């Protein structure tokens, strides 16, 4: 894994209610900055950020309503 110096690290927070596109925005940021080679979709369960089985199950239940 690539190592970064503390002065070169930037943290951001994405805050919002459920279903407002936080994961999609973060996914697009990672893709556009070439940190990810694919643009996953939360609706399809292909997002690289929703890797936890609990997260995938909750998202599936949310979209079934």
How do residues 9-46 score in pLDDT, each as one tens digit? 989 999 999 889 898 999 999 999 998 899 888 777 78
Residue 2 confidence (pLDDT) above 90: no
CA dist list (Å): 64 to 11, 57, 59, 61: 33, 11, 9, 5
Q: What pLDDT score does 45 carry?
A: 77
The verdict on pTM exceeding 0.75 is no
Contacts of 19 (CB under 8 A, 6+ apart): 62
Q: Give the residue extent of every domain in the chain.
A: 6-64
Q: What pLDDT score does 52 carry?
A: 75
């Amino acid at each position: 894994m690539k190592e970064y110096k503390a002065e070169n690290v930037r943290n951001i927070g994405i805050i919002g209610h459920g279903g407002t596109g936080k994961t999609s925005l973060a996914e697009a940021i990672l893709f556009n900055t070439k940190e990810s080679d694919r643009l996953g979709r939360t609706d399809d369960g292909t997002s690289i950020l929703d890797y936890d089985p609990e997260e995938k199950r909750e998202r599936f239940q949310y979209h079934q309503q």
